[in-house]
A and B are shown apart, each in its own frame.
Chain A
Amino acid sequence: MSQQETLLKKIGVKSFEDLLPSLPKDLLFPTLDLPTGKTEMELREHADRLAGANRPVASFMGAGAYDHFIPQTVWEIVKRGEFLTAYTPYQAEASQGTLLALFEFQTMISELFGMDVANASMYDGSTALAEALLLARRWHMEELGRRARKILIPRALHPQYKATLSTYLKNLDVKIEEIPYNRQNGRTDVAALKTALKQPETFAFVVSQPNFFGILEETDLIGELRQQTEALFICLVNNPISLGILNPPGSYNADIAVAEGQPLGLPLSFGGPYVGLFAAKNTYTRRLPGRICGRTVDAQGKTGYALTLQTREQHIRREKATSNICTNQTLCAVAATIYLSLLGPDGLREAAELTLERAHEIWDLLLGSTNAGAPTFAKAEFFQEFPFDLKITRERLEAVSSETNLIPGYPLAHDFPELPQALLIAATEKTKKLDAKRLVNLLNGIKDASNVIRA
C-alpha cells in the first residue's frame, strides 16, 4: 500500500475524491498546460541559460535604486534558515531573533533620520510615501477635525512615486498640486511652496532630499515653513546612505520621513523586494501604518520583544484599520540592520563621501569634455546624481548604448518634457574610473573598441 493509500485509509475514506465532496465534479482535475517538472540539475541549467540572456553592462542608472557595495556578511546571515523560513512573529516567544532585529532596525532608522519612532518597514519607498500621506489625511480629518483635500508635491519628485501616489489617492478625493523647480539650480521653489501652503484644506507637503534630479534642496528654509501651517511636512530621503553626511529630516522639522531602503544592503533585483523606511515624530506613534515591534517584559520580568499596537491593524480593525497592510519586509529590514551595524556611523559617512566624490568626478569629466553638452542646471548642488543636457540624439544614444553595453543613465524627457535633452547620471562608491571614461567617450560621440563592455 502506498503512503497515500495508508493515509486515506486512516482518514477513513476510500479515495482522494472522497475528500472533495463539496467540489463540482465536472470541474475536477483539469489538465494544466505546464511543462513537466525538472530535476535540480536541469533546473540549474535552465536558470543559467536565462541568466546568460541578461547582458553584462556598465551602468550609471540611479533614479531611486542604487548599486551600492554590499558586504558579504549581510546575505551570509540573511540566508540562515532561521531568519529566511520563519514567519510573522505572532508567537513572540518563538520569534525573539526576528523581533530583536526589528527593534534594532527601528532604532537605527530613527537615529539615522533624527526622528523619534520608526515602524518595522513598508513595501518600498513609494508605498511608504503613499502611506505617509494617508496618515496625514487621517490626522487632519480625525485629530484636527479639518477637511483634507490637497497635497503639495515637488515637480522634481520621482515620477514613479508621483504615479504611485496618484493611484493610492485616486478614490479619496485628494488634489495633488506640483511646486515648480528653479531652472538655474534645479531646486524646488521655496517661495512658491510658501504661497501654496496658504491654500485651505492642504494637509501635507512633500519634499525629497535630494530631489529626483539629485539636487540638494534648501531643507532649512523648507523646515521653517512647517511652523506656519497645519499641513504635515513629509520628507522623502532619496537615499538613506546620504544621511551619512546630510542633515537628517528630524533636524529640519519633518513630521514624517520616508525612504527607499534598498541602498542599505539590498541588491537591485529589477525592482524588488525592497524595503520602505518610515519614521515619524512621537505624536504619530499610534497612527503609524504597518507592523511595529515593541520592548516588553515576560512573566518573570525579563526583557523580551513583541509586535505591538496591533489594534491599528487590519486583522483586528478590518475596514477601519490604519492601513490594509498585513506584512512588512522583515528579511529586507534584517539585511538593512546588518548592513548598518557593519558600517557604523563612520562607514556610512565614508560610503556617502566616496559616492559624492565619484559623482563629482563624472561631472568634472563631462564639463571638461568638448562635445558632450552642458549641465541641465548650471548651478547644480548634488549628492550622487545630476542631469546633463546631451548633444547626442536620444535615438543615437540608445543605439550606441546597446552596441557598447553601457547604460548611461535615465533620460528625463518622457517625465519632464521641458527637459528634452537631459540625462540623469548617477554614481555610487562602486563606480569605476574606467567606466566613467567610457561614459564620457560615449556621450562625446567617440567610438572606440575599448568602450565596449564584454562578459
Chain B
Amino acid sequence: MLPTLFELSRSGKRAVKFPKAAMHSSAKIPAKLLRRQNPSLPELTELDVVRHFTLASQMNYSVDTQFYPLGSCTMKYNPKANFHWALHPAFAGAHPLWPSWAVQGTLESLAGLEEGLAAITGMDAVTLAPAAGAHAELVGILVAGAFYQDKGQAAKRRKIIIPDSAHGTNPASAALGGFEVVTIKSTARGRIDVLQLKKVLDDTTAMVMITVPNTLGLFEDDVLEVSRLAHNAGAQMYMDGANMNALMGIVKPASLGFDMMHINLHKTFSVPHGGGGPGAGVLLVRRHLEEYLPVPRLIRRPANQNGELSILDAHPKSIGRIRAFHGSTGNLLWAASYLALLGRDGVFQASRDAIVNANYLRRLLQDAGLTPYSDEPCMHEAVFTIDPKKLNGVRTLDIAKRLLDFGFYAPTVYFPLIVPEAMMVEPTETESPETLEQFANAVKTILSEAASDPQKVKDAPHALPVRRLDDVLAARNPVVTYQVS
C-alpha cells in the first residue's frame, strides 16, 4: 500500500504559493477568532502530489481500463468528445447567482437537455436540480406530497407501495419524505404481484413506486394494469429510471402510465461515475405535477419577447428548494453533450445494443455454468444465482473477488435481495462481443477452479495491490482518519 500524504509530508515543503498579503490578519480580525495553530495538512512538493495521486489512480479499476459489468450502474464508456462542452471554461466559470443575461449559453444548454429528456420519456416537465437518483426520488415524493396537499388529501394519503426487488433508496427516500412504506413481495416470475397490490392499494396510497425494467432485468409486463389500478385508486405512478438504458426509443415511460420518473444521468447519459459521484438526477413529471416542481426552474420567454431563457426563483405551489443552487450543471452539460452526440438514432441504438449485449452475455454465462434467475430474455442486465453447496462452498462474493484477478471488475453481488447469492451483470452497449466472451471464459475458469481448487477462489484476489480486506474489522473498530499528531 502507498504511504498516505501525511507520511510523505516534510515540514517546509510546498507546491503552490500565493503573493504575500501586505497586511496581517490580526489587523482586521479579532484575536479571539484567529486560528492559533495551523491545521495539520500535509506539506508536499507538486511532484510529491502528482506522483502520489497518479500511483493511487493506478490501483483503481475503471471503465477506461477494465470491463466493469456492475449491474444497475450502467458503466458504459464515457466518450472523450464530451469533455469539451462539459469542461469548457465559459461554462465552468459561471457563478450560479449571476443574472440570466450573463449565462444564456448555459441556460440554452440546459434547456436542450430538458427538451431531449422529455422527448425520450414522453414526460411534460423536467427539473434538473437533483444531485443524484436518490435525491430525485426524494423530490418526486415531496412533489406528490405537495400535489395531495393542494388537493386536500395529504392527511389521508400516507402510504407508498414499493416492491421488495426495489433499490434500497426507494424506501429510504419515502421514509425521509415522511411517508409510510408498504413492501409487496414479487411473484415467482420476478414481477409485481398484482393480486397483492390490489389488497394494499386504496385511497390512503399516495404512490406506487416501481423500477422499469426491474432490478432483475425484467420488464414489468403488468405495468399497464398496475398503472390503471393505481390511477383508479387516485395514486401517482413513480418510475425509478435507474434502468433507463433499456428503454430509449424502445418505449416511453409516459405511455406506460407513469406520472413521474427519475433518470440517473451518470448511468444512461454517460456522465462519468467519478469513483462514486458526483451523479446527476433528473426528475420528469406529467403536466398535472409541474407546478409543484422545485425552484429554481428554467423558463423561456415567448419569442416576441426575444425568446431568452430566464430563471424562475419562486412559485407558490413549488416544494421549494432542494439544494442551494440550480443543479450539478457540470454534469448536466456532460449529458447534454452525450445526447447531442448520439441524437435520435443513436439513443435507440444504444438501448438496443445494450439489450442485445445483455442477452448475449446471459447466454454466454449460462453456457459457462451460472444459473439465470429467469428463463425469459432479459432487458439491459441479467441476474444469476449459484449454489455454494455444489461449488465446494464457493460463494458469489468469492467469484466476484476472483474475477478481479482476471482483470475484470465484479458484477453487482447480493442484489436484488430477493435472489440468493445474486450476481447482477450489466455489460452496456459499449462493450464488444470479444470482451463479453473473455469475461464468460473467466467465469468458466473460476467455476472449474471451484471444483479443483476452491480455496484459491475463496482466497481471491491474489493479483491486486491488496488481498481480501477485512470489512468486519473496519466496522467493529472504525479508523476513519489518519492520526496525524
User: Which one of A146-154, A189-197, A317-325 contacts B?
Assistant: A317-325
Interface size class on chain B is 35 or more
Q: What is the distance, in angstroms, from B106's C-beta to the closest C-beta of chain A?
A: 5
Measured between beta carbons, the chain A residues less than 8 angstroms from B15 are 71, 73, 341-344, 347
* A273→B90 contact, CB < 8 A: no
A300-B459 Cα distance, complex, nearest whole Å? 11
Q: What is the distance, in angstroms, from B312's C-beta to the closest C-beta of chain A?
A: 14
Contact A51 to B91, CB < 8 A, known contacts A100-B59, A271-B328, A326-B169: yes
Asked if B195 is at the interface (CB within 8 A of a chain A CB), the reply is: no
A354-B324 Cα distance, complex, nearest whole Å? 27
* B478→A308 contact, CB < 8 A: yes
Beyond the given A164-B324, A357-B23, please list 18 additional residue pairs across the A-B interface where CB-CB is below 8 A.
A4-B352, A7-B433, A21-B377, A111-B484, A164-B320, A170-B145, A220-B33, A247-B34, A270-B325, A298-B466, A311-B475, A318-B168, A324-B137, A345-B40, A356-B29, A360-B28, A402-B101, A407-B95
A55-B99 Cα distance, complex, nearest whole Å? 11
* A345→B38 contact, CB < 8 A: yes
Cβ 8 A contact of B340, one of A46, A77, A158, A297: A46
Q: What is the distance, in angstroms, from A214's C-beta to the closest C-beta of chain B?
A: 12
7 closest Cβ pairs, A-B complex: A171-B178, A81-B64, A37-B343, A271-B325, A331-B274, A273-B278, A53-B105
* B49→A123 contact, CB < 8 A: no
* A302→B467 contact, CB < 8 A: yes
Q: B362: nearest residue on chain A (CB-CB)?
A: A11
* B1→A98 contact, CB < 8 A: no
Cβ 8 A contact of B56, one of A12, A22, A100, A244: A100
A384-B88 Cα distance, complex, nearest whole Å? 27
* B81→A170 contact, CB < 8 A: no
Q: What is the distance, in angstroms, from B81's C-beta to the closest C-beta of chain A?
A: 4
A11-B436 Cα distance, complex, nearest whole Å? 13
User: Which one of A332-340, A367-375, A437-445 contacts B?
Assistant: A332-340
Q: What is the distance, in angstroms, from B85's C-beta to the closest C-beta of chain A?
A: 4
User: Chain A 72-105, CB within 8 Å of chain B: the 1/0 string?
Assistant: 0101110111111111111111111110110110
Contact A11 to B363, CB < 8 A, known contacts A67-B93, A292-B480, A334-B275: yes
User: Which one of A57-65, A175-183, A200-208, A227-235 contacts B?
Assistant: A57-65
* B29→A246 contact, CB < 8 A: yes
A347-B412 Cα distance, complex, nearest whole Å? 42
User: Chain B 90-117, CB within 8 Å of chain A: the 1/0 string?
Assistant: 1111111111011111101100000010
Cβ 8 A contact of A85, one of B18, B28, B273: B273
Measured between beta carbons, the chain A residues less than 8 angstroms from B30 are 216, 381
Asked if B173 is at the interface (CB within 8 A of a chain A CB), the reply is: yes
For chain B residues 23-76, which have a beta carbon within 8 Å of chain A? 23-25, 28-30, 32-36, 38-44, 46, 49-50, 52-66, 68, 70, 73, 75
Q: A82: nearest residue on chain B (CB-CB)?
A: B57
Contact A292 to B478, CB < 8 A, known contacts A7-B433, A86-B273, A171-B145: yes
* A270→B274 contact, CB < 8 A: no
Asked if B474 is at the interface (CB within 8 A of a chain A CB), the reply is: yes
Q: B272: nearest residue on chain A (CB-CB)?
A: A84
Measured between beta carbons, the chain A residues less than 8 angstroms from B39 are 108, 111-112, 114, 243, 248, 345, 348
Contact A90 to B70, CB < 8 A, known contacts A16-B356, A343-B41: yes
User: Chain A 131-146, CB within 8 Å of chain B: the 1/0 string?
Assistant: 0001000000000000
Measured between beta carbons, the chain B residues less than 8 angstroms from A324 are 134, 137-138, 169, 172-173, 175-176
Contact A77 to B57, CB < 8 A, known contacts A84-B62, A245-B34, A268-B96: yes
Cβ 8 A contact of A86, one of B41, B60, B135: B60
* B92→A11 contact, CB < 8 A: no
A125-B96 Cα distance, complex, nearest whole Å? 14
Asked if B269 is at the interface (CB within 8 A of a chain A CB), the reply is: no
Contact A124 to B341, CB < 8 A, known contacts A306-B471, A345-B39: no
Asked if A413 is at the interface (CB within 8 A of a chain B CB), the reply is: no
For chain B residues 258-289, which have a beta carbon within 8 Å of chain A? 272-280
* B17→A96 contact, CB < 8 A: no
A104-B484 Cα distance, complex, nearest whole Å? 11
Q: What is the distance, in angstroms, from A440's C-beta to the closest C-beta of chain B?
A: 19
Asked if A454 is at the interface (CB within 8 A of a chain B CB), the reply is: no
A91-B465 Cα distance, complex, nearest whole Å? 13
Asked if A33 is at the interface (CB within 8 A of a chain B CB), the reply is: yes
* B320→A167 contact, CB < 8 A: yes
Q: B309: nearest residue on chain A (CB-CB)?
A: A53
* A8→B330 contact, CB < 8 A: no
Asked if B174 is at the interface (CB within 8 A of a chain A CB), the reply is: yes
Interface centre among A22, A73, A354 (most CB of B within 10 A): A22
Cβ 8 A contact of B343, one of A35, A245, A313: A35
Measured between beta carbons, the chain B residues less than 8 angstroms from A107 are 4, 6, 481-482, 484
Q: B56: nearest residue on chain A (CB-CB)?
A: A97
Cβ 8 A contact of A64, one of B59, B131, B324: B324
A347-B15 Cα distance, complex, nearest whole Å? 8
* B122→A342 contact, CB < 8 A: no
Contact A160 to B321, CB < 8 A, known contacts A83-B57, A383-B29: yes
Asked if A391 is at the interface (CB within 8 A of a chain B CB), the reply is: no
Asked if B461 is at the interface (CB within 8 A of a chain A CB), the reply is: yes
For chain B residues 326-374, which have a beta carbon within 8 Å of chain A? 326-331, 337, 339-348, 352-353, 355-357, 359-360, 362-363
Q: What is the distance, in angstroms, from B315's C-beta to the closest C-beta of chain A?
A: 12
Measured between beta carbons, the chain B residues less than 8 angstroms from A405 are 102
A69-B17 Cα distance, complex, nearest whole Å? 11
Contact A16 to B478, CB < 8 A, known contacts A95-B61, A95-B275, A269-B92: no
Asked if B322 is at the interface (CB within 8 A of a chain A CB), the reply is: yes
Measured between beta carbons, the chain A residues less than 8 angstroms from B167 are 315, 326
Asked if A20 is at the interface (CB within 8 A of a chain B CB), the reply is: yes
Asked if A396 is at the interface (CB within 8 A of a chain B CB), the reply is: no
Cβ 8 A contact of B1, one of A52, A96, A101: A96
Asked if B19 is at the interface (CB within 8 A of a chain A CB), the reply is: yes
Cβ 8 A contact of B275, one of A50, A88, A271, A295: A88
Measured between beta carbons, the chain A residues less than 8 angstroms from B92 are 267-269
* B324→A353 contact, CB < 8 A: no
Cβ 8 A contact of A61, one of B24, B95, B119: B95
